[in-house]
Structures are given as C-alpha cells and as structure tokens.
Chain A
Amino acid sequence: MDDEVRMDDIRGMVLFVPGLQSLIDLLRERGWAVIGPTVRDGAVVHAEIESVDQLPRGVGDLQDAGSYRLRERDDETLFAFAAGPQAWKSLLFPSRELLWSGRRVGAEKEVTAAVVDAKRLALFGVRSCDLHALAIHDRVLAKREVTDTAYVARREATFIVALTCSDPGGTCFCVSMGTGPVPDEGFDLALTELLDQDTHRFLVVPGSDRGQEVLDDLKSRAGGVEVLPASEQDHLGAQEVGAAAAQHMGRSLDTNGLRDLLYAHPEHPRWADVASRCLSCTNCTLVCPTCFCTSVDVVSDLTGSATERWRVWDSCFTTDFSYLHGGSVRDSVQSRYRQWATHKLASWVDQFGTSGCVGCGRCITWCPAAIDLTAEVAAIRSGKE
C-alpha cells in the first residue's frame, strides 16, 4: 500500500469521503477527540464526532443582520456553510474556569490552586477567520508578561484541521480584514472541499511537521483507494474555491486609517444613534471569537468555611463592567457600544498589533437588534448621522 510518490513536488493529498473518515479515525486513535460541525437545534454547532455521517451533509446557511437559518442544499457537501454561532474559544478558553479554592482550617486558611486537565482535541473544520482569531487569542493570552497558563496548555494539546470556506455567508467580511477565506498558517492540516459532477473529494495540505506525519500515516494506511496524491488539477480546483469565496463576501469594512478615525470621533452622533437600537444584551461579545474579557466570581458555602474563585466570561456591555465606587464609568449604552467597537477596531491595534476583528460576521448575525458593525463604521466614516 505504500505509495512512493515524492511529496516534494506537489504538496498534500486528496481524500475521498471514506478517506476523510480514515483521517477522523486516525486522529481518534492517536488520542485526540475530534470536534467538528454538526447540526443541532437549527444551527451548526461544534460537537465531538466519530463519523463523517455526523457532519452537516447537504446543509447550507442563510445569514444576515439578526438572522440565521439553515437550508437544504441540492448537493451532498459536508462543509458548505459559514461560521456558526460558536467560535472555538469555548473549548480553549472556557466560560467558567476554577482558579483556586480556599478552606478555613481551624483558625487558619488554606489556598489550593486549581489545575487544568487539558484534553487533547482535534478541531475539525476551522475556518480562516477563526484561525486568525486563535492567533489573536494567542497574542492576548499567551504572549504577554502574564499568561493564561490553562489556555496555553489547552492550545498545545490541540490539533487543527483548517478549512477553506466554499460558501461564505451574508455577514462575512474576512476579505476586508485580511483574514481569509483561505487559511494561510497556524494549522496542522488544511482541507478544501471539491465537489463536481464526477467526484466528491478533499484536498488536504500539511501546515506543520505533525500534520505531515499524520498525512504520511494516512497514506500508508489507506493510500491508493481513499487517499491519493494531490495533482496540480486538485490544487487549481482548490484555488478556484478560495477565489470564488473571496468574491462572495456579504459585507465589507474599509480598514484604511480606521484606528485614527475611531479615536478621532468619540462624540460622533452615530454612537447615540446606534445606542438607541442596541439592547446591551452582550450577544455580540458572546459569539465574538476574539473577545476575552473575564470576571472573577466568588462562590462560598453558607458557613463561609469554604470558598472558590471562578474565572467567568464577562462583557463590556454590562452596566457594572466599569463600576467604580459611586457609579459606573461607562453608564450609558452609547459609551458601552463605543467602547466595544473602538476596542475591537482601534485600541486593539495599539494593544496587540493587529485589529481585533476577523470579519466572521457573527456579531451581525446574532444581534437581536440587527446592528451591523460594518454599517456603523461606514456611517462614521462618511460623516452620516
């Protein structure tokens, strides 16, 4: 079964659907739980999968401001939809994390730091926008003076199978943000789904040494039938998928001088206008793959002899996020929306060297008031109220 074709000439392999199953099997055998897209409750959500049958076959989505619907496609694609409500952040940066527990022992107190047991996860089908979001979280959580060691542990225990989008959504604007639709780095393997009249296959290219090792392993197991060397034609096909996706962005955002623009207009009347629509519900921060704000909850028993500190997700849209004795600094919805948008698109650049937005469109899709960040920014740029 060993295929002696040299990989140096043309990178990667082509998998048919059974080959994709073999890849999943191989990852599981190597001790990674495979987390991929599935359909549940009318949405594409991440769940542990064992079989390609659990992937959203023939499922597409329709996304717009404040609107998300799945639809039945007339083909058998497995990945032809855009970003679902979940980013990958809840796996690597959980919404609740124990920091330490304390007990009263007689007159003394004891503090025990929590340990994190980082499960080995293979993230299956990570789109380029979410890949960039992971890199952004790396900068925020793993590359500054104080790091989130639990995040680092989980990140190191993660194998990433990225995916080129074939069917971006109505709220996507990764092209504007320079974050897609083709994954460029930060993955172990990258897939592109190729479906035409003749075949249903996946180009898979390695992005790391261990990705290459998995491919070699796959080749030696299933080569010749489910898995073939990639041809130039396969690569061209994949490039066409990426190029077509780039032409089908639902939204766009002009990032030229955006940091300076937002810094210069803290009193723009548009902030008051969006505030009249914003419910301050925090949905956008929940679905955003780069938001990282957290708070610390104190959980104690009734006798006060045992206490725990939990780190929990928080949102700058809550009224007490900026509370100081006497009141909140950002009391009005207007100031809170301005804070979120300015942080995401402007302050982030000064803090971390890139924009905080990856153009995934989730905040637009999942806003109950149908507020569109790209439209708000465009209004400020054009001077409209």
Chain B
Amino acid sequence: MRTIEQYLPDHPFFEGLDGPTLALAAGCATNISLAAGEYLCHEGDAADQFFVVRRGRVAIEVHGPAAGTLVLDTADEGDVVGWSWLVPPYVSTFDARASEATGVVAFDGACLRGKCDSDSHLGYELMKRVTQVMNGRLVAAQIRLLDLYGGPGATDAAPR
C-alpha cells in the first residue's frame, strides 16, 4: 500500500505537477477507507473537503420526498469529488456516498486554500485542474437535461 506521496503522482488529476508542489498539496491530505453505504458528506454540511478516489465508487446523490434518492453522478478510481472547498460558504451541495468499499484521499479544504493563497503556482495548477473537472461535469449535466432518450416530454420529441 503506497503512501499518499507515492500514490498522487500517478493519479490523473495531479498529472504534470512537479514534486515540490505535489508535496505541498499532499500535506493537507489523509487516507480514508469507507465501507459500502458510508457517507463522505451530506447536503448542507459544512464539510470542507475535496476527495480523490483511489478505488471503489462514490455516488453523488440527492433525495426528495416522493422521488426518493436519485444518483446524479458517480466518481470512480481516478476521479475527484467535491469542489465546495473552493466556493464560499464551503457547504456541500449534494450527498456523497460510497456505493461499494472505497478508498479516497481526502484533502482538507481550509488547509489547501491556505497553501494556494501563499503559493500561487499551486493555486493556479489546482484551479486549472478543477475547472476542467467542473466543465466536463457541467456539459454532461446540460446534455442529460435534454432527456434525449425518449418518453413523453423528451426534448427531441415533436413540439407540443
């Protein structure tokens, strides 16, 4: 089992970061193991963390009274979860649950923000990477919104 410092360079999110910068970020990180069904964070929590998935799967969920629980997105090995650490008031917007036995590297948001403030190179590198993740998720969400696969109300059905 590799240490965080040994593991991070191989993770796609951190690819291309030089050693010292990576070590700076790693200083804010801990390894966490979760059993299936355990939550990483809940909607509305002041959880201020950023997760890198090492193994397993994290489900991003929302729940409503009649709809029950819906999974909006999933993050597997190599993905990242959460950017509320970058966005005030640093509150989780959704629930995140391990849907199977999962291992993550958890970065403390306040710690990372502090290091980004003092090391703008780290800050810029992280910002670039998070922006790419957000962009991918946003585009995907907008296209899924079109409900393309059919059924009444699908947007590629004939206009009403």
Do A and B interact?
Answer: yes
Show the binding face of A for B, using Cβ within 8 Å: 323-329, 331
Q: Scan residues 50-86 of chain B and give those whose CB is less than 8 A from a CB of chain A.
A: 65-68
B81-108 vs A: 1/0 string, CB under 8 Å? 0000000000000000000000000000
Q: CA–CA, A325 to B65, complex, Å?
A: 10
Q: Chain B's interface: helix, strand, loop or mixed, by majority?
A: loop
Neighbour of B68 across the interface among A323, A325, A331, CB < 8 A? A331
Q: Which residues of A contact B66 (CB under 8 A)?
A: 323-329
Q: CA–CA, A298 to B67, complex, Å?
A: 27
Show the binding face of B for A, using Cβ within 8 Å: 65-68
Q: CA–CA, A201 to B65, complex, Å?
A: 58
Q: What are 13 A-B pairs at a CB distance below 8 A?
A: A323-B66, A324-B65, A324-B66, A325-B66, A326-B66, A326-B67, A327-B66, A327-B67, A327-B68, A328-B66, A329-B65, A329-B66, A331-B68
Q: Which residues of A contact B68 (CB under 8 A)?
A: 327, 331
Q: Of all chain B residues, which has the CB nearest A329?
A: B65
Q: Of all chain B residues, which has the CB nearest A324?
A: B66
Q: CA–CA, A327 to B66, complex, Å?
A: 4
Q: CA–CA, A326 to B68, complex, Å?
A: 10
Q: Which 7 A-B pairs have the closest CB atoms?
A: A326-B66, A327-B66, A324-B66, A329-B65, A331-B68, A324-B65, A326-B67
Q: CA–CA, A325 to B67, complex, Å?
A: 9
A363 to chain B, nearest CB (A): 27
Q: Which residues of A contact B67 (CB under 8 A)?
A: 326-327
Q: CA–CA, A126 to B111, complex, Å?
A: 67
Besides A325-B66, A327-B67, 11 more A-B contacts (Cβ < 8 Å) are A323-B66, A324-B65, A324-B66, A326-B66, A326-B67, A327-B66, A327-B68, A328-B66, A329-B65, A329-B66, A331-B68
Q: Which residues of B contact A323 (CB under 8 A)?
A: 66
B37 to chain A, nearest CB (A): 10
B111 to chain A, nearest CB (A): 29
B110 to chain A, nearest CB (A): 27
Q: Which residues of A contact B65 (CB under 8 A)?
A: 324, 329
Q: CA–CA, A331 to B64, complex, Å?
A: 12
Q: CA–CA, A326 to B65, complex, Å?
A: 9
B142 to chain A, nearest CB (A): 24
Q: Which residues of B contact A331 (CB under 8 A)?
A: 68
Q: CA–CA, A294 to B65, complex, Å?
A: 21
A100 to chain B, nearest CB (A): 30
Q: CA–CA, A328 to B64, complex, Å?
A: 10
A334 to chain B, nearest CB (A): 12
Q: Of all chain A residues, which has the CB nearest B68?
A: A331
Q: CA–CA, A329 to B67, complex, Å?
A: 8
A329 to chain B, nearest CB (A): 4
Q: Which residues of B contact A324 (CB under 8 A)?
A: 65-66
Q: Of all chain A residues, which has the CB nearest B39?
A: A267
Q: Which residues of B contact A326 (CB under 8 A)?
A: 66-67
Q: Which residues of B contact A325 (CB under 8 A)?
A: 66
B147 to chain A, nearest CB (A): 16
Q: CA–CA, A324 to B65, complex, Å?
A: 8
B68 to chain A, nearest CB (A): 6
Q: CA–CA, A34 to B67, complex, Å?
A: 51
